[in-house]
Chain A
């Protein structure tokens, strides 16, 4: 089982009158970091818990390598999951928490120290869990997930409670794991972090799939074209020249223009042909946040 794909198909979960997840379908590919994005209450956690056999779906299926989580013979050697930062006994030390997990999964106890080292928690290994900061708890959660050296990693809001340095550490760790061919699925409502971390995104709102695909593709499909900002001493002449090439031009204050419908190269060439000096030319990619707000707008987070 080397390349393990996650398949979610027609997944639905209903609590009384509330439909938390509504016919959700998407796939997560190996060798890539997939961001699972949505506002709070979009059904991300419920989806991940259904994927991991903790919550029973009302309908549909969620499989890992073609099997339901509960049908995996040694689940922790295939899938590692971090679902909440506080899932260890308060009175137990970090090392003993991991050792108990090793015994359960039939792994050598030495794995406990190996993963503590991996997440940088060795110095705090013999402190009880209640004294851990939120960031340390997240690291212990990642350590727990890594015990079985799994091919798939599933993380629910792992950036919560991490400081900027911790977030960078986690990003490098997850990207490194994906580069080894592992399948990484990370949920978040923090978009800026996801833009730096993910290769693919799955965007959900109100329990429904909004968009799925590689980050760049999703951005261009929704956010429209990139915008080009040009600074020139002759904005009026440049406007006329660019409109001849089909660009849409809007003034942006003194000597500055915003161009859409043309790439930066085309803007530069047009200026050269018209003999107009350019003092600055920058391209602005649409922001994931804009796309996200666009897509999830009017989907009330609280249902």
Chain B
């Protein structure tokens, strides 16, 4: 097993793929970090200064009360060093987690896309072992990209928070928990990717489907469940049930605050996401074990 994981890591290292993933992860972290720092800088101001920033030089007294109320709500939610630190230290998560999932997919679909499956299964006839090695590899690589992204965010974020006068905030459990849950998200999505890739052998189809599911899933789920709630069953649990969509589960898992009004506890999101990871990996393995390689 160690041999297989080492071989998978070697295979990954000897193509240009890992450069692409590492680069994309760091760039998305850097971009999101810049956006988060600007927002945090604004939200960490006292309320009157926050309002002044949003007034863009106009007279604050003439501001419509609805707009002022909306700003107050936004400020109250975000005016917390812990919340801002958690957001900053997990910057780049949206794309980073998707990349971890895509990496998991490519780890397995490239065997068919590059026609290396024959060699791979000749060297290791036990296909279950091959997939297990790919799962371990996907988790290792996902953890590595989480580490790279987190180190970047920690260094820049700690300097920023220090300069704003809030210290590093790393003593706060809420902040540490956010960073660790972020790692869990990377790992589970990578596992999900391997399973998904085993189920949908076509590299193109699998990557496109996963990206759409990830990026559009939450919005689509929100629309569908809203319709269900409005026209079919007018009960709150219908809205809570949105969590069965993987991307919603992922958001619920990593958000310390409520994602939507009826959103369940964080552990529910984690359980759902983990469930998807395990089920796709098992189903993918089962399918691949009996499939003819030709």
Q: In the assembled complex, which residues on chain A have CB atoms less than 8 Å from the CB atom of B121?
A: 53-54
A104 near B114: Cβ-Cβ < 8 Å:
no
Q: In the assembled complex, which residues on chain A have CB atoms less than 8 Å from the CB atom of B126?
A: 70
A89 near B292: Cβ-Cβ < 8 Å:
no
B119 near A101: Cβ-Cβ < 8 Å:
yes
Q: Given A87-B116, A90-B114, A92-B15: A105 and B290 within 8 A (CB)?
A: no
Q: Mark A79-107, 1 if CB is under 8 A from B, else 0.
A: 00101101111111100100111011110
Q: In the assembled complex, which residues on chain A have CB atoms less than 8 Å from the CB atom of B15?
A: 89, 91-92
Bound together, the chains give a CA A198 to CA B141 distance in angstroms of: 48
Q: In the assembled complex, which residues on chain A have CB atoms less than 8 Å from the CB atom of B16?
A: 91
Bound together, the chains give a CA A55 to CA B289 distance in angstroms of: 10
Q: Mark B1-36, 1 if CB is under 8 A from A, else 0.
A: 001101100110011110000000000000000000
Bound together, the chains give a CA A54 to CA B293 distance in angstroms of: 5
B14 near A92: Cβ-Cβ < 8 Å:
yes
Closest beta carbon of chain A to B189's beta carbon, Å: 24
Q: Is B240 an interface residue (CB 8 A)?
A: no
B123 near A89: Cβ-Cβ < 8 Å:
no
Q: Given A55-B292, A70-B125, A105-B123: A88 and B116 within 8 A (CB)?
A: yes
Q: In the assembled complex, which residues on chain B have CB atoms less than 8 Å from the CB atom of A285?
A: none
A81 near B122: Cβ-Cβ < 8 Å:
yes
A100 near B115: Cβ-Cβ < 8 Å:
no
Among A52, A87, A101, contact of B115 (Cβ-Cβ < 8 Å): A87
Bound together, the chains give a CA A69 to CA B123 distance in angstroms of: 11
Bound together, the chains give a CA A91 to CA B292 distance in angstroms of: 25
Among A49, A81, A88, A106, contact of B294 (Cβ-Cβ < 8 Å): A49
Q: In the assembled complex, which residues on chain B have CB atoms less than 8 Å from the CB atom of A99?
A: 10, 14
Bound together, the chains give a CA A93 to CA B17 distance in angstroms of: 14
Bound together, the chains give a CA A49 to CA B168 distance in angstroms of: 60
Bound together, the chains give a CA A91 to CA B122 distance in angstroms of: 21
A103 near B14: Cβ-Cβ < 8 Å:
no
Closest beta carbon of chain B to A48's beta carbon, Å: 11
Closest beta carbon of chain B to A30's beta carbon, Å: 20
Bound together, the chains give a CA A129 to CA B292 distance in angstroms of: 25
Q: Is B124 an interface residue (CB 8 A)?
A: yes
A49 near B292: Cβ-Cβ < 8 Å:
yes
Bound together, the chains give a CA A96 to CA B124 distance in angstroms of: 18
Bound together, the chains give a CA A106 to CA B121 distance in angstroms of: 15
Q: Is B118 an interface residue (CB 8 A)?
A: yes
Category for how many chain A residues contact B = 20 to 34
Q: Is A56 an interface residue (CB 8 A)?
A: yes
Q: Mark B90-126, 1 if CB is under 8 A from A, else 0.
A: 0000000000000000000010001111111111111
Q: In the assembled complex, which residues on chain B have CB atoms less than 8 Å from the CB atom of A103?
A: 3, 6-7, 10
Closest beta carbon of chain A to B77's beta carbon, Å: 47
Q: In the assembled complex, which residues on chain A have CB atoms less than 8 Å from the CB atom of B115?
A: 84, 86-87
Q: In the assembled complex, which residues on chain B have CB atoms less than 8 Å from the CB atom of A56?
A: 290, 292
Closest beta carbon of chain A to B288's beta carbon, Å: 12
Q: In the assembled complex, which residues on chain B have CB atoms less than 8 Å from the CB atom of A96?
A: 10, 14
Bound together, the chains give a CA A69 to CA B118 distance in angstroms of: 14
A75 near B294: Cβ-Cβ < 8 Å:
no
Q: Is A76 an interface residue (CB 8 A)?
A: yes
Closest beta carbon of chain B to A185's beta carbon, Å: 15
B122 near A52: Cβ-Cβ < 8 Å:
yes
Q: Given A84-B115, A89-B110, A89-B116: A100 and B7 within 8 A (CB)?
A: yes
Q: In the assembled complex, which residues on chain A have CB atoms less than 8 Å from the CB atom of B118?
A: 54, 83-84, 87
Nearest residue (CB) in B for A96 is B14
Q: In the assembled complex, which residues on chain B have CB atoms less than 8 Å from the CB atom of A46?
A: 294
Nearest residue (CB) in A for B111 is A89
Closest beta carbon of chain A to B122's beta carbon, Å: 6
Nearest residue (CB) in A for B130 is A104
Beta-carbon contacts under 8 Å, A34-50 to B: 45-46, 49
B125 near A69: Cβ-Cβ < 8 Å:
yes
Bound together, the chains give a CA A11 to CA B3 distance in angstroms of: 33
Nearest residue (CB) in B for A53 is B125
Bound together, the chains give a CA A105 to CA B6 distance in angstroms of: 11
Given A54-B121, A104-B124, A106-B3; 6 other pairs, CB 8 A cutoff: A49-B292, A69-B125, A76-B122, A89-B110, A92-B11, A103-B10
10 nearest A-B residue pairs (beta carbon): A103-B7, A96-B14, A104-B7, A54-B293, A70-B125, A55-B292, A91-B15, A87-B119, A53-B125, A104-B123
B contact residues vs A (CB 8 Å cutoff): 3-4, 6-7, 10-11, 14-17, 110, 114-126, 290, 292-294
Enumerate 13 A-B pairs (CB-CB under 8 Å) in ascending A order.
A53-B125, A56-B292, A70-B125, A76-B123, A84-B115, A86-B115, A88-B119, A89-B15, A89-B114, A90-B114, A99-B14, A100-B7, A104-B124
